Every structure is written in structure tokens, then in C-alpha cells.
Amino acid sequence: MRDLFDKIYKDKGPLGKWAQQAEGYFVFPKLEGPISNRMKFRGKEVITWSINDYLGLANHPEVRKVDAEAAAEYGSAYPMGARMMSGHTDLHEQLQDELASFVNKEASYLLNFGYQGMVSTIDALVSKQDVIVYDVDAHACIIDGVRLHLGQRFTYMHNDMESIEKNLQRATKICEQTGGGILLISEGVFGMRGEQGRLKEIVELKKKYNFRLFVDDAHGFGTLGATGAGAGEEQGVQDDIDVYFATFAKSLASTGAFIAGDKEIMDYLKYNLRSQMFAKSLQMQLVVGALKRLDMLRTMPQLKEKLWENVNALQTGLKDNGFDIGTTQSCVTPVYLKGSIPEAMALVRDLRENHGIFCSIVVYPVIPKGLILLRMIPTATHTLEDIELTLTAFSAIRERLENGTYKRLSAAVTASLGE
């Protein structure tokens, strides 16, 4: 019998093997200063494109004031206990009612964390007789929720309607035998590619197949749709989403999340979501802060307008300069380049040290080998000057990537790993 830790000593994993070269700089970096378009990285000012503060609320003076007042009034402990036992308040109910109204649903229920809540919601919605059908590019929280499922689950090719239908046909045959039902899961906006889920076409399939639709709209909530109610509103199918999920960690610049749908479904979930039944209630200062942020989302459309002014300027500028930004249909702005992981490290170091640009780097195994994805998140706090400086920097780093400069710079890293 082997030591349980043998695998840890021998294989650090596809990302962990780069820890010595990457940690503290490329992964687990430390951005400092007030959350905004420009922050400090290792003592230098950088234009930040990796903060999910879409509407610029994280450091907004009105938000900071309410957060501080709520912390002073309630502290960071209140209420103590789980919602079902001793952690339920009028303000929790008020926030749920306002969120439900905002996304045009009968009811909603608060979640302490988006990741935790997504895993638990999937677990509560299905039994072993049921079948889950979900996008192969689904977020890790969806994948982990699906892993808990004791029944059948199928992935469909990303946003591929033919693949979706084939898997619905497979699921239907199984459910006819087991007596179960089908849960189809899509994202409103896929956080790496920036593409919207094909919700309108998926909803059309309800005419042929009996399934329920669960949508993770973390990146769509607050950024898409006429009122900011998300990808379902943008595509005109919000009413047809059976369970809607969004997090406070993006547009609301906070901690927490919620699910929304028919009241009977929400009532069932609040009595069966293990991650909420057996966890401390969302603390009051976060609830009060979320109420303020939601009110600003409703009453200050200029925040979303400024966000999209910056999104359009950045994405148009990148395309005009010949960059591949894929097929994004959202604020998420991917820039695809060709190169190895060591080249990506050299490229990003150049961006940060010599151009003052900080954006997230995504490499294999998240995307295929040989590709580098620079993922950019425009916000309402960015300026047109930030965008112009970034476009200039990107043109410079592309030239160095193509002429082999980064390959030469990365040779020592490659040799040390035996790549």
C-alpha cells in the first residue's frame, strides 16, 4: 500500500508544477491600493484589467459610506447562526424581495457564496433518477455541483445546439426508464470566452423536450439587458429561465449570491440547500451593502452606460489593431495569442514591468496548449487614456512574441523544467 501523499510529492499538477517560477507574480499576485482602474503591483502603478468590478462600485464613495455605517451598527458577526435557526432578519427578506423583482422572478433566496451556493443548488435540484445536461465549458462551480450527482450527466459541446439536442434525446430516453427529469445548465456569459449562452435557442427546445433550465449569470447580471437583469433579459427569455443564479462578486462588488425563480421552487430550495441550512447566515453588513448596490444599479443607469462605452472602445480598438478577441458578446474581453507557457510568462512580465499593464493570464490546461489568453475586464472606472495606453502596449508585446524575443527570454525557464 502506498502513502496517500505519494501523488502529491510526485505530481504537483499542470499548474502546480510552475509554482516556483509563477507564485507571487503570475499566480497569487498582490494588487494593492483602492480598487480602481489603476492600482499598485510591487510598488508600481499599473492599469488593472483583472478586477471584476464592472460598474465601479467597489470603491464608490456612497458604497463605502454605507458599508462603514453598516459595519459600525452591526459589526461583522451579526446575525449569528444559520438562517433556519437564528440568522434570519427582515433585511435578508427585503434583499431577497428586491433581487427577485429586479430579475423579474417571483422569489429569490440568498446564498453566502456563489461557488458554494451553485454546488448546493445543483445537488438540491436533482435526484439519482434525474439527468443533468451541461456545457463542456461550464464554470468549475457547476462542474463540482454536477460531480455530486448520483445519476447520469452529459456534457454538450460548447454552445452547440446540435450537441445540446442530441444530449437531450439521450437524457429523455434515460428518464423515460428511470421516471426522472432533466436539468439543463448553461451560463448566461461564459467568463473566459465572453460568449453568451445560447439561451434563446435553448428555450426553443422546450417545445420539443421536457427539461428545466438553470442559468449561471454571474457575468451577465448588472451588465446585460435593458435594466441590467442579465443575459436572459438581453435575449428576451428571462421568463423561461426556471432557476436564475447570480453572484454579488461582479457587478455588486461584494460577497454573496442569490438564486431566483418561482416561489414554490425557492421555498423548496431554502429547506434543502445544505450549504445554507448548515452554514452561518450572510452577515448583516453585506446584506445592507448589497441593498445599497442594488439600488444604485436600478437608479444610476449611467454606470452601465459608462461601462459599455469603455467595453466598446477597448474591443473595437483591439479588433482594429488586428487582435483576435474571439466571439465575445459581453464585457469579458479575451485576447488570444500563440505561444508556450514560458513565453506567456515573459510576455506578461514585460506588460507589467515595462508597460504598466496588469491583466490575467490564462494558459493550458484551462485553454488548449500553444495558446495564451490575456483576459481583460473593462469597468466603468477605466478611461479612454487607459485604453489607448493598453492598445499601444499590446501592439508592442505582440511584436516581441512574433519575433522570438519572449522565446529567447524564456529559454532558461523551459530548460529548468525539461520542457
Measured CA to CA, the distance from residue 253 to residue 56 in angstroms comes to: 8
Measured CA to CA, the distance from residue 40 to residue 230 in angstroms comes to: 32
Measured CA to CA, the distance from residue 349 to residue 85 in angstroms comes to: 50
Q: Is the pLDDT of residue 160 over 90?
A: yes
pLDDT for the residue 251: 97
One of 3.40.47.10, 3.40.50.720, 3.40.640.10, 2.60.40.3880 is the CATH number of 61-299, namely 3.40.640.10
Q: Band of the pLDDT at 415, cuts 50, 70, 90?
A: low
Q: Is the pLDDT of residue 405 over 80?
A: yes
Beta carbons of 246 and 108 less than 8 angstroms apart: no
Share of the chain above pLDDT 90, in %: 84
Q: Is the pLDDT of residue 390 over 90?
A: yes
Q: Which residues, 6 or more positions from 67, have their beta carbon under 8 angstroms from its beta carbon? A: 285, 288, 289, 292
Q: 140-150 as b/e, with b when 16 or more CB fall inside 10 Å?
A: ebbbebbeebe
pLDDT for the residue 189: 97
The dihedrals phi and psi of 281, each to the nearest 5 degrees, come to -60, 150
Q: Tell me the average pLDDT across 62-78.
A: 95
- Among 194-203, 274-283, 358-367, where is mean pLDDT lowest? 358-367
CA nearest neighbour of 124 among 245, 262, 259, 272: 272
pLDDT for the residue 412: 63
Q: Is the pLDDT of residue 9 over 60?
A: yes
Please write the tens of the pLDDT for every residue from 309-342.
999 999 999 999 999 999 999 999 999 999 988 8
Question: Which single residue is written with the C-alpha cell 430550495?
Answer: 269
Mean residue pLDDT across the chain: 94
pLDDT for the residue 416: 52
Q: 397-418 as b/e, with b when 16 or more CB fall inside 10 Å?
A: bbebbeeebbbebbeebeeeee
Question: Which single residue is written with the C-alpha cell 425563480?
Answer: 261
Q: Tell me the average pLDDT across 253-264.
A: 97
Radius of gyration from C-alpha coordinates of the chain: 22
Helix axes 284-299, 301-320, angle to 10 degrees: 70
CATH of domain 5-54+301-417: 3.90.1150.10
Q: Tell me the average pLDDT across 349-372.
A: 89
pLDDT for the residue 396: 95
For the chain, residues classed under CATH 3.90.1150.10 are: 5-54+301-417
pLDDT for the residue 23: 84
Measured CA to CA, the distance from residue 344 to residue 407 in angstroms comes to: 9
Q: Is the pLDDT of residue 414 over 60?
A: no
**Mapping DSSP to helix (H, G, I), strand (E, B) and coil, where does residue 47 land?**
strand
Q: Tell me the average pLDDT across 175-188.
A: 97
